[in-house]
Structure 1
């Protein structure tokens, strides 16, 4: 167990050093890169948590078998009171279904036996209103608590008539079941009485299961693995209650659930701090790289250029350590090339003016032979159009 903790908390520089450019990102600030190592660290923390490897077990804890008895009693009570419908008993979990061995005192249990869940109703756009009952959408799933961001509204009478059993209660859990797999939030005061839209699944865990433990399980690789397996190769992003019916959950004793969630929260806070520090460091690093490279392109003469280049050379291994900074260097090299600052000029070279005259002669020849059409003469290039001063022998020309 000590080795596992060292894996998470020691050598944090290795986790923070692993970054990659976002797939759709261009060039620029640290917002263009993904802190890949810290993202993987978060996943590792959750995977260790649901395997019982994040903390030592306490033999004094009441085992999960006793917890399941209490959960079963709570479920039976809800059925008797008409809050939920009785469902068919699920088969026992076979050994071949269990992906890994659990610690002593833990048990595997099927998800429907520990939590009620339902998918949001199929509501059409024609049912939307300008006010009324909030219809919670995935845009409200970006924090710990469900928000009303991007929500539509439904007629109150229609909700009471058709969708009353979908109305949310405080403490319910909403899970995204579409492309944003893994987004999960609790229902707070703002969303009470609202309805979850299609693409969100509502969970009401049976007590005394600790709902925050279930939330952490939803963020683990084991949850994603079982979802993927249940699709049986289908090329779909969405999953629903059918895929969840056979899911099995690694269930610790209740006391250990609380300890696990507390430790996960502590480590996730550490990851938040690492992200902030790394992002700030990346921003500062990229600003420094940009400033030093800009000094090359803005150098007024050879002396300034040599001085700027010397500053870069002295710290080259520190400056160009990422894909982002290396890419900035490549772009600067190309910019220096077209500015005439990459290599010295040779006064013996035929000037660009002579080249342009030959090009004009060739163009006229192609027009005469009918290979290209004659274009209207372009306006001369004004001084205001020229972005920088060219070396002797160079000239500006319109692309045509």
Structure 2
């Protein structure tokens, strides 16, 4: 605990860290490390004597049944040794444990009756309210031994734990005097020397979770037997100490909750601020776009604290890049109109040589299709006007098949696994048809929002053939394929594609609409400079993301180290 207090702000930085801290508090509490020993407390042996006397009285009054005595706790069963004045005892010896009754499905109805508690009501630390299934009113007398009362501790016996923790909660006031269904157990304090709140906190501790995991029978799903539950060891001090431990837990949990809320509000405020500034950066009508980006870069630690923030920064960079706002224009660059004329001549030459097919021309771009104003020297053009594809073929020899699953969309490349995805012609899927070459840009038109886009940047021993799920773009001289790649990932083009998608289960954009998309085209030299600048900034983003991940890992390591330190008291005598 001292290590955590010394490095508090480094270790507890997320809501998950706060939950880990709560587990640590509970673990320390039931090791007797959260409070000082009070010499005036009565010996715990007197508590056990009173519990035994009360039990015998209740049996004599026929308020509880006499049960087979539980065996003493062996040293091997003790998770750790306790401080002086504390003793291990079986939970079944200090509270009443009831297992639910297997009511028939026909007993339940929506009509008025007695509420029932089912396993679906038991959550991790909270009661799950849902559709109420009632039992006949007369069952309250017939099955009175299965009645549950407010603040009884409830625990699921089938699949008693999930990733979030142990499924244990308190019975709420609205379910007072209800009937307990099968595979749920209730624990009720009957003895004056056992504090219900103390027991409930204990059941939320990692100690009980570990016990349940160890003693749950696992076939298809874990099951905890009622006998194993009764045999659970619980560390018991005097009643006065139970009260002080519970109060200390409550006090520290209040601090944790306050800290969690502080972290949550900070994250929300940060998120709102970040989304606002990045929205401004992507606003085409904002004259201060580049100044806003500069503000983010100069205060990067404040604006980019999460991977989501970094992703917003990447989007902003691309948005500014394809608007021509990341670099200065050079007046001496060859105008794009000249470049487009050269591309037209090159295209006619390829058609004449029958290397590509002549295709129907698209109409002129209207002002409504232009999402923003371009810098001087740039031109709007359609994708089809500056790219071409090599057509399709049915494989007739061994080939390398590239499907959507082989795209590394984060890096924009084809995964190394493609090199070994070699197929014979007779093994070719019906979708293996499109021809590509080194330098081709491929774009998945099926579920395009996943951004499965890549540049074919490697050589293949066997001819590469890609799936018909891809649109293939080969660039003419003067068009940088990396500039085209970045544009296809930018928000303006994403917005265009989303407006053209059709389908529900597998939304897609057809190729005619895809190639009809508009491209803001700068001069060739400017394309190169934009790509260089974006490459540099994307490397910066990658480094920032790596730093965030490293900081998170360091915080996680510190938290785990503290938890391990707390666990090291096992088998030590605490005094």
Q: TM-score range by the shorter chain?
A: 0.7 to 0.9
Question: Residue 134 in 1 paired to residue 120 in 2?
Answer: no
Aligned equivalents of 1:243 and 1:356: distance in 2?
79
- Secondary structure, in 3 states, of the residue corresponding to 1:129? coil
Matched ranges for 1:268-347 at <5 A: 268-300=253-285, 304-336=288-320
Question: Residue 348 in 1 paired to residue 311 in 2?
Answer: no
Question: Residue 227 in 1 paired to residue 215 in 2?
Answer: no
Shift of 1:59: 2.1
Residue 191 of structure 1, aligned match among 171, 175, 184 = 175
Distance 1:367 1:49, change over 3 A: same
Task: Indicate the larger mover: 131-140 or 259-268.
Answer: 131-140
- Secondary structure, in 3 states, of the residue corresponding to 1:399? helix
Aligned equivalents of 1:289 and 1:58: distance in 2?
52
Shift of 1:360: 9.9
- Secondary structure, in 3 states, of the residue corresponding to 1:185? strand
Task: Indicate the larger mover: 8-17 or 273-282.
Answer: 8-17
Aligned equivalents of 2:322 and 2:346: distance in 1?
19
- Secondary structure, in 3 states, of the residue corresponding to 1:287? helix
Question: Residue 255 in 1 paired to residue 255 in 2?
Answer: no
Which has a greater percent of strand?
2
Distance 1:294 1:203, change over 3 A: same
Question: Residue 50 in 1 paired to residue 36 in 2?
Answer: no
Aligned equivalents of 2:198 and 2:345: distance in 1?
77
Shift of 1:287: 1.6
Aligned equivalents of 1:360 and 1:216: distance in 2?
76
Question: Residue 122 in 1 paired to residue 102 in 2?
Answer: yes
Distance 1:259 1:356, change over 3 A: farther
Question: Residue 39 in 1 paired to residue 154 in 2?
Answer: no
Aligned equivalents of 1:186 and 1:386: distance in 2?
61
Question: Residue 82 in 1 paired to residue 68 in 2?
Answer: no
* Mapped contact 2:290–2:326 kept (Cα < 8 A): no
Question: Residue 218 in 1 paired to residue 198 in 2?
Answer: no
* Mapped contact 1:182–1:219 kept (Cα < 8 A): yes
Aligned equivalents of 2:356 and 2:79: distance in 1?
75
Aligned equivalents of 2:43 and 2:110: distance in 1?
51
Distance 1:184 1:134, change over 3 A: same
Question: Deviations 1:276-319 (Å, cap 9, x if unpaired)?
Answer: 11111111112222222222211547x62331122112211222
* Mapped contact 1:16–1:278 kept (Cα < 8 A): no
Aligned equivalents of 1:84 and 1:309: distance in 2?
72
Aligned equivalents of 2:345 and 2:212: distance in 1?
68
TM-score relative to the length of structure 1? 0.78
Partner residue in 1 for 2:379: 393
Aligned residues: 373
Aligned equivalents of 2:184 and 2:365: distance in 1?
59
Shift of 1:79: 2.8
Partner residue in 1 for 2:12: 16
- Secondary structure, in 3 states, of the residue corresponding to 2:212? helix
Question: Residue 106 in 1 paired to residue 86 in 2?
Answer: yes
Aligned equivalents of 1:265 and 1:9: distance in 2?
18
Task: Indicate the larger mover: 229-238 or 336-345.
Answer: 336-345
Distance 1:384 1:168, change over 3 A: farther
Matched ranges for 1:91-102 at <5 A: 91-102=71-82
Aligned equivalents of 2:91 and 2:196: distance in 1?
12
5+ residue gaps in structure 1? 20-34
Aligned equivalents of 1:112 and 1:167: distance in 2?
18
Shift of 1:146: 5.3
Task: Indicate the larger mover: 170-179 or 223-232.
Answer: 170-179
TM-score relative to the length of structure 2? 0.56
Partner residue in 2 for 1:154: 134
Distance 1:255 1:350, change over 3 A: same
* Mapped contact 1:140–1:150 kept (Cα < 8 A): yes
Greater C-alpha Rg: 2
- Secondary structure, in 3 states, of the residue corresponding to 1:203? strand
Aligned equivalents of 2:153 and 2:181: distance in 1?
14
Aligned equivalents of 1:79 and 1:378: distance in 2?
92
Aligned equivalents of 1:58 and 1:380: distance in 2?
88
Aligned equivalents of 1:357 and 1:77: distance in 2?
102
5+ residue gaps in structure 2? 384-512, 516-575
* Mapped contact 2:101–2:181 kept (Cα < 8 A): yes
Shift of 1:68: 1.5
Give the aligned CA root-mean-square deviation in angstroms. Answer: 3.8
Aligned equivalents of 2:310 and 2:342: distance in 1?
34
